[in-house]
Amino acid sequence: MSHAAFRTHARPALTAIACVTTALLVAGSCAQASEHERVVSDRVGSEYHTVRIVEVAGDLENPWGLAFLPDGAMLVTERPGRINLVRDGEVTSLGGVPDDLVARNQGGMLDIAVHPEYEDNGWIYFAYSKGTRQETATTLVRARIDGDQLTDVEQIFTQDRKSGPGRHYGSRLAFLPDGTLLMSIGDRGQDPPRAQDLEDHAGTLLRLNDDGSVPEDNPFVDDDDVLPEIYSYGHRNIQGLIVHPETEEIWVNDHGPRGGDRLDLVKPGANYGWPVVSPGRDYGTQEQWGEGREKEGMEPPIREFLPTVAPSGFAIVTGDRYPRWEGNFLIGGLRSEQIRRVVIENETVVHEEELIREELGRIRDVRMGPDDYIYVLNDRSDGGVYRLEPR
């Protein structure tokens, strides 16, 4: 039996003995750990900021997605099939999760997002793998929260073709300033050429209206040979997605095969090459993947990450708490167990640094909170939510 079977519906985020008090606060920039929080590392250095790592919520089974409500409460998904509301040190598992969710290998409950007009409409959005043990599809749902229950649950999008369950679901979500929603779908792992088939959602970045319908200005909306939801294609498995708060540019990170992890600036209608071209190598032979590293008509990466990071969550540093990181990209690493800090100037990477390497294990998500702190999820069976506080 999984440890989740023993969890109470509402429980303290951490036990009281996890509390660590410290008087070493720097001009109010480092918050006092509350009775529900635990200092994991008191001092972790970097080139420009030293941080401490505080566990905000624990006892989470493979946490995957993190989003903030306007009042500062957190929504945290767990891949086995839960959505949690974290408020005032208490974690509550919400009822009403769809019963056709299949949690197998990389599938299950995935990313979550809050509508930019949440205070008016109450909508939250989440992606999950829907289906049976034989076949699944990446699916998008919106719902509202009433106490400890999901209500008004609506399935608003499902990819057009199911696949054998297990790999490359994508599922990152992000709202654009115009209120439309971006959603990634991976190539599903078994048949990579699907990412070049414009009559297949696999291996794409989608753009949807907030009710799941198709925006009238999508790049392929007038082409009967292309699924109208598709915004860009030729992606392998996007698991990091951001909309730049100043430029409104769409940035993603994408998994390569052996090597070939990439940072991309997404253009509407563009082809990012997978699996025709890739910076990566074949798993078995170590030969160059596909036809080569680049090809005319296919977008090259802004950056190929070497060595591989197995990229996931993605954030841009904003606010006043980390002034020397202001505007930098933070990219979570699964296999690499780090956050990669990336400095971009004129669409060129000019500097990188590894942060909190091997401090928390596999990094699944990175977010800026409404309090301007950096929050991190790790991908463990006993994972948690962590806050990075500058010292």
Residues annotated as catalytic are 168
DSSP letter assigned to residue 368: E
Residue 304, H or E segment: strand 303-304
3-state secondary structure of 3: helix
3-state secondary structure of 165: coil
CA gyration radius, the chain: 20
**Angle made by CA atoms 134, 136, 140, in degrees to the nearest 5:** 160
DSSP letter assigned to residue 275: T
- Residue 147: phi and psi, rounded to 5, are 70, -115
Using CA atoms, how far residue 51 sits from 47, 128, 313, 334, 355, in Å, is 11, 33, 19, 21, 10
- Per the rule left: phi > 0, alpha: psi between -120 and 50, beta: everything else, 44 is beta
Per the CB < 8 A criterion, the answer to whether 339 and 355 are in contact is yes
Rounded distance, CA 148 to CA 151, Å?
10
Which residue type sits at 230?
I
Which residue type sits at 47?
E
β-bridge mates for residue 95, sequence order: 149
